[in-house]
Structure 1
Amino acid sequence: MTEFNLDFPRAYGELSATAIFREQPEDFQVDEDLGFSPGGSGEHVFLHIRKRGENTAWVAEKIATLAGVNVNDIGYCGRKDRHAVTTQWFSVYLPKGPEPIWETINSDSIQLLNVSRHQQKLRRGDHQQNHFVICLRNVKTDDRELLVQKIEKVFAFGVPNYFGEQRFGHNGNNLVEAQAILIDSKRYRDKQKRGLMLSAARSFLFNQVLAARVVAENWSQCLDGDVELFSTGPLWGRGRSLVAGQMAEFEQHVLDNWREWCNGLEHAGLLQERRALQLIPHNAGYQWHHDHLLLKFSLNAGEFATAILRELSTLQTAVVIAE
């Protein structure tokens, strides 16, 4: 069985701090920001929900049961962490007929915050950004001032925009499944699950290119041949590479060992896309509370908070994080 190394190189050197991560759900808070307000009318009911210690798919099933619809009629922008306190929007396709009493979904772990209507179903990535409040407990370091300097650099100049480990499943199991699909022609009846596995493969290849750029110390630089005014990496798929020259040669070289995966993703019908290599948090700040470090920042849709945390401290947690 192929082993997948998910310990990608860091941009700011070796870690000199340790901290306890996710000791309780309140240590990881995420508020989803759609970037727009529901229109107030339309075929889709919009539910704004706060959940604690529950995963998004489970909440979607609860909503579907309450509404008497198929779970495929429930939309959301993305899966939010389970071991956390998060707010996010769900859409329910209910074009006509009476609505259920939505408040009956409330429980010790679910709270309904708002109800509205809108014309379109929510789909993955429809939101604008996520706002994070994260508490790292019992931070230990021999040089707190050095850690503070690293935090300020990370907030000012950003970090490598790696896909987080949750994209790859527990112990990289999504990549094992992706290998079976791409190389061994394994078939999936569940199209959504198959899509998640292919997305994991694509993300892993992107991380390989980004890791090579980090080692080359040019991950934040726009190189000759890029198609944007900022540094980007490939989300592999069908068609010619969107970059040329130095960039194209570099990426081809990095992905030579993954040529079968690239071919498999092309045959799966995915199209070539690009993703920024540099993640710069917005509205970032930090506070010390004795030995606890409180971090606040906002990230665009598709960016991972773990990309920031992994540059600051070795995280000690018993929580299994899986998408």
Structure 2
Amino acid sequence: MHDPIAWPPAWPRVLDGECGPPAAGDYRACPEDFAVEECLDFAPQGEGEHLWLWIEKRDLTTAMVARELARLCEASPREVGYSGMKDRIAVTRQWFSVQLPGREAPTALVERLAALGIRVLDQGRHPRKLKRGVHRANRFRLRLTGAAVEDPGFTARWERLCRHGVANYFGPQRFGPDGRNLLRARALLARGWRKRDDRDGMLLSAARSFLFNELLAARIRAGSWATPLPGEVVMLDGTASQFSVEAPDAELSARAERLDLHPSGVLWGSGGSVAGGEASAFEAALPERYPALCGGLERAGVRLARRALRLRLADPALERGDGELWLSFALPRGAFATAVLRELIMHPGL
């Protein structure tokens, strides 16, 4: 028995109720329109068996760069590290590491990478491999064109996102073209998830992301996506720190208004949710509606986690040009710039 999944999903935008639907717009017409820079809180120490490389890539996935590093350094793919997966159609900067115990980097490594369109901007040694998910944030600079650029309501939409935050949806790239990753995940979970069928956990992630987006959509429709409810688990802005709230008071509501903290939603897995009261009712609806997805994730051994329902745009800026707009902002790791764009422009890819 399959859970009912309609694609594309009708996940609501926050601003439509106040501002109406956005005008049509375009983004990422070429890689230079979508720039991403990974932000770490530390730098290589200058010594150790791991060579760290600060790399700029264009029209390449993170996995492609990792494979080339392993090949050129004659290393196992397991000996190459990176923190986050970055978009292909973009110009992105991020750190990579490759383990080179007792040996120097291959001769002309920088030049050989450059021939593949991979620029090394800095490098240094470090005692440890770069682990997944250790970066703090990503900084974006995006170019928009189309009717939305001339829409007199665009600035009001942007300013409202800056003041009140953005719904923290997982972006469409998580689900693959036409939701195929999600459909594959549903089939795999139905017959029993096995590591060999999903080595990087992409399909498990697609299933959890879909369930989270469904929960967030329900909270938006109920008008409570940015407001802590009784029994809420709130998360401090920009961190994984969380605590339960039995009954929100004026001080907590004021902190939520200032974007100091955010309501959170469940990333489905085994282990009981700590949400209670009104907040738990939204989470309890997920296994009722999607029993196969929820049950399959639990049987796969995925541990329950939480994710903020809302994002704060850090250091936002808007620049107008001739028939174009440039947006700049930073988001915490795991957040999607497409979640911001879907509130600002109408585009089939959002």
TM bucket (normalised to shorter chain) is over 0.9
Which of 195, 198, 203 is residue 204 of structure 2 equivalent to?
198
Alignment of 1:17-56 (within 5 A): 17-56=23-62
- TM normalised by structure 1 equals 0.92
Contact 1:18 1:316 (8 Å CA) reproduced: no
1:148 corresponds to which letter in structure 2? T
Contact 2:148 2:154 (8 Å CA) reproduced: no
Separation in 1, partners of 2:149, 2:81 = 43
1:192 is paired with a residue whose SS is coil
The residue aligned with 2:308 is 276
Which of 8, 12, 18 is residue 5 of structure 1 equivalent to?
8
Structure 2: segments with no counterpart, 5+ residues:
235-260
Which of 49, 63, 66 is residue 60 of structure 1 equivalent to?
66
Aligned length: 316
- TM normalised by structure 2 equals 0.85
Contact 2:11 2:217 (8 Å CA) reproduced: yes
Separation in 1, partners of 2:147, 2:92 = 24
Alignment of 1:133-282 (within 5 A): 133-140=141-148, 143-144=151-152, 146-185=153-192, 187=194, 189=196, 191-193=198-200, 195-228=201-234, 230-282=262-314
Contact 1:75 1:90 (8 Å CA) reproduced: yes
Contact 2:192 2:296 (8 Å CA) reproduced: no
1:165 Cα deviation from its structure 2 partner? 0.6
1:141 Cα deviation from its structure 2 partner? 6.6
2:175 corresponds to which letter in structure 1? F
2:121 corresponds to which letter in structure 1? L
Which of 105, 111, 125 is residue 113 of structure 2 equivalent to?
105
Q: 1:253 to 1:186 in 2, by over 3 A?
A: closer
2:154 is paired with a residue whose SS is helix
1:185 corresponds to which letter in structure 2? G
Instruction: Summarize deviations over 1:222-243 as a string: whole Å, max 9, x none.
Output: 1111232530000111111121
Q: 1:141 to 1:78 in 2, by over 3 A?
A: closer
1:286 Cα deviation from its structure 2 partner? 0.3
Q: 1:7 to 1:76 in 2, by over 3 A?
A: farther
Instruction: Summarize deviations over 1:64-123 as a string: whole Å, max 9, x none.
Output: 001101112111112111111111111112222232132121126211111112222222
2:210 is paired with a residue whose SS is helix
The residue aligned with 1:123 is 131
Separation in 2, partners of 1:232, 1:281 = 17
Instruction: Summarize deviations over 1:183-237 as a string: whole Å, max 9, x none.
Output: 12364525524x1100110111011100000101110111111232530000111
1:17 is paired with a residue whose SS is coil
The more displaced of 246-255 and 130-139 is 246-255
Alignment of 1:78-97 (within 5 A): 78-97=84-103
Q: 1:222 to 1:90 in 2, by over 3 A?
A: same
Contact 1:174 1:197 (8 Å CA) reproduced: yes
Structure 1: segments with no counterpart, 5+ residues:
none
Q: 1:141 to 1:70 in 2, by over 3 A?
A: closer
1:170 Cα deviation from its structure 2 partner? 1.4
2:161 corresponds to which letter in structure 1? V
The residue aligned with 2:256 is none
1:315 Cα deviation from its structure 2 partner? 2.6
The more displaced of 133-142 and 87-96 is 133-142
The root-mean-square deviation of aligned C-alpha atoms, in Å, is 1.9
Contact 2:52 2:97 (8 Å CA) reproduced: yes
Q: Which has the higher contact order (CA 8 A, sep 6+)?
A: 1
Instruction: Summarize deviations over 1:245-264 as a string: whole Å, max 9, x none.
Output: 22112211244111221111
Contact 1:51 1:86 (8 Å CA) reproduced: yes
2:288 corresponds to which letter in structure 1? D
1:19 Cα deviation from its structure 2 partner? 1.5
1:99 is paired with a residue whose SS is coil
Identical-residue share of aligned pairs (%): 41
1:105 is paired with a residue whose SS is helix
Q: 1:141 to 1:41 in 2, by over 3 A?
A: closer
Contact 2:149 2:323 (8 Å CA) reproduced: no
